[in-house]
Homo-oligomer: A and B are copies of this chain.
Amino acid sequence: MNIGEASKASGVSAKMIRYYESIGLIRPPERSAASYRIYCDNEVHTLRFIRRARDLGFSVAQMSALLALWQDRSRASADVKSIAVQHIEDLERKAEALRAMSDTLKHLVQHCHGDDRPDCPIIAEFEKG
């Protein structure tokens, strides 16, 4: 299977597959005589694992840890859980920060008449001492 097919089968772009290989997240695959990367189902399986983790916002470093745990038959589920819990906290902290910004802005927007006049509480807020 060429990289294009592996990409389609896994949902990870060819570009990112090469990138993940270059940073050591995945192992270099076999190569054809013409230096084409050749993937087997096993590797596509790994790529799908990566895609799912990535879709949940895990960083490359976290994915690397998760992959190691995945391949460790004697892993403790507690180890996986602690990575996930940590990540949930990160996600919630970030979501909360965004929410706080949008709440502040919504408040300002509500008080902006939004017409042809220059008077604007949003600008006033940014300008204030």
Contacts and interface: CB of A to CB of B under 8 A. Distances in A.
Residue among A95, A108, A117 with most chain B CB within 10 A:
A95
A52 to B, nearest CB: 5
Report the interface size class on chain A: 35 or more
B81 A120 contact: yes
Contacts of A126: 49, 52-53, 66, 70
Nearest to A81: B114
A77 B108 CA distance: 12
Contact of A112 (B73, B80, B115, B123): B80
* 10 residue pairs, one from A and one from B, having the closest CB atoms: A77-B120, A81-B114, A91-B102, A95-B98, A52-B126, A78-B114, A57-B101, A95-B95, A49-B126, A76-B116
